[in-house]
């Protein structure tokens, strides 16, 4: 009888071990699948991106644009006066100084956002007088990876001819560069005078 119990208990314990192993394996697979599905559900709406690390308020931006009716807006500028963190995004305030080749001109104040995926939305809310031939608009664009170009821009609004625009940051040279340049010029001319004597 004891022998019989040993035989019966060995397969039973082997079955229990194998069954325990299979249950753990199945539980692990179920946990992995469930956590993967939860991750997909939680993040499927908009891919998470790292915050954009750039200060748009440094320098003036040279705007390039031609609208649908052919008015060239070269010579216009863009200035970001304020940039405030809002989670992974930035809240923006600033203005466009528009100069059209048809004589249109004026300042348009805007507010907007730079999103973590580098897209930008600006909304003009006020035309500052004196101005002629411009109205407020909505602007959409992408900040380049360098942080010094705004690309693939478009605009739209009520009663305006829309089209594409872009901008490049014009960074002023720091005072140290001018000081270095004048020192080098002084060295060159100072050396020439000594050679002449």
Q: Helix (H, G, I), strand (E, B), or coil: what is residue 7?
A: helix
Same domain, 21 and 70: no
Q: How much is the pLDDT for 158?
A: 79
Q: How much is the pLDDT for 197?
A: 58
Nearest to 123 by CA among 142, 140, 105: 140
CATH of the domain at 64: 2.40.128
As a whole number, mean pLDDT of residues 128-139 equals: 95
Same domain, 158 and 74: yes
For residue 123, the Cα-to-chain-centroid distance in whole angstroms is 17
Q: Answer yes or no: is 123 within a domain.
A: yes
Same domain, 2 and 85: no
Number of folded domains in the chain?
2
Same domain, 149 and 81: yes
Same domain, 75 and 107: yes
Q: How much is the pLDDT for 175?
A: 57
List the domain range (segments joined by +) for residue 35.
1-45
Same domain, 126 and 72: yes
Same domain, 70 and 148: yes
Q: How much is the pLDDT for 159?
A: 73
Same domain, 37 and 66: no
Q: How much is the pLDDT for 135?
A: 93
Q: Answer yes or no: is 131 within a domain.
A: yes
Same domain, 39 and 121: no
Higher pLDDT, 27 or 157: 157
**Over the chain, what is the mean pLDDT?**
77
Pull the structure tokens for residue 106: 């004026």
Q: How much is the pLDDT for 147?
A: 95
Q: How much is the pLDDT for 157?
A: 85
Q: Answer yes or no: is 32 within a domain.
A: yes
93 pLDDT above the threshold of 90: yes
Q: Answer yes or no: is 182 within a domain.
A: no
């Amino acid at each position: 009888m004891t022998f019989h119990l040993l035989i019966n208990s060995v397969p039973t314990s082997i079955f229990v071990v194998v069954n325990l192993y299979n249950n753990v394996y199945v539980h692990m697979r179920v946990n992995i699948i469930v956590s993967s599905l939860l991750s997909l559900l939680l993040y499927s709406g908009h891919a998470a991106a790292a915050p954009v690390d750039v200060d748009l308020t440094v320098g003036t931006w040279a705007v390039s644009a031609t609208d649908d009716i052919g008015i060239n807006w070269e010579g216009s500028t863009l200035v970001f006066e304020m940039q405030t963190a809002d989670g992974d995004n930035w809240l923006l305030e600033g203005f466009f100084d528009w100069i059209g080749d048809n004589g249109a001109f004026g300042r348009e104040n805007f507010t907007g956002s730079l999103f973590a995926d580098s897209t930008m939305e600006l909304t003009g809310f006020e035309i500052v007088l004196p101005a002629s031939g411009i109205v407020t608009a909505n602007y959409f664009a992408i900040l380049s990876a360098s942080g010094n170009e705004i690309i693939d821009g478009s605009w739209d609004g009520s009663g305006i001819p829309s089209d594409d625009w872009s901008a490049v940051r014009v960074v002023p040279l720091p005072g140290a560069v001018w000081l270095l340049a004048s020192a080098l010029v002084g060295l060159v001319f100072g050396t020439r005078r000594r050679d002449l004597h």
